[in-house]
Copies of this chain bind each other. A is one copy, B any other.
Amino acid sequence: MPITRPALKLTHEGALKALNGALAKATELGVPQNITIVDEGGNLLAYVRMDGAKLLSRETSMSKAVTAASHRQPSSRLNPKDEVKLSLAAGQRLTNLEGGLPIIIDGQCLGAIGVGSGKGAEDVEVARAGLAAIGAEDQIP
C-alpha cells in the first residue's frame, strides 16, 4: 500500500468565491447571515458577518461547517434522539442544526460551508448558493 495519496485542496480564491456566492444569495433574500468556510481539517478559511446578523450565530455557523466537513454530509443528518449526546461527546462542535454543507468536488470533500442567523431553510439556501458558485456538488439536507 502506498504511503501517500493525492488530494485536492480548496484555494483561498475558491473559499472566497463560495463566500461571495453565499453572500449574494443572502443579500438577495434580505437575510443577514454569518457565513463560514472551513477546510477539510475544520480550520477556518474565510468568514463574513453581515450587517444585522446575530452575533452568536457566528459560533453556530462554525459548528455547522465543522460538522459538515467532519462527517462529509449535511449537518442535519444525525438521529435527533442522539444529537445532544453526540454534541457533548464531540466537544460541542458537532451539531444537528441545518445550514452546514460539505464542499464536494470530484468526489472529494474539500471542506464545508456553514451559515447561521436565518431560519433553517434560509441558512441552507444560502449555503447551497455558496456551493453553486464554485461548481461543488449540490447537497440536499
Contacts and interface: CB of A to CB of B under 8 A. Distances in A.
Interface string A87-99: 1111111111100
Given A3-B17, A58-B44, A92 B88 contact: yes
A12 B51 contact: yes
A5 B63 contact: no
B59 A90 contact: yes
Given A5-B51, A88-B84, A94 B11 contact: no
Contacts of A89: 59-60, 63-64, 87, 92-93, 95, 97
Interface in A60-78: 60, 63-64, 66-67, 69-72
Contacts of A85: 83-84, 87, 95-97
A11 B51 contact: yes
Interface residues of A, number: 67
Interface string A9-22: 11111111100000
A110 interface: yes
A50 interface: yes
Contacts of A83: 85
B3 A13 contact: yes
A22 B10 CA distance: 20
Contact of A4 (B3, B9, B50, B63): B9
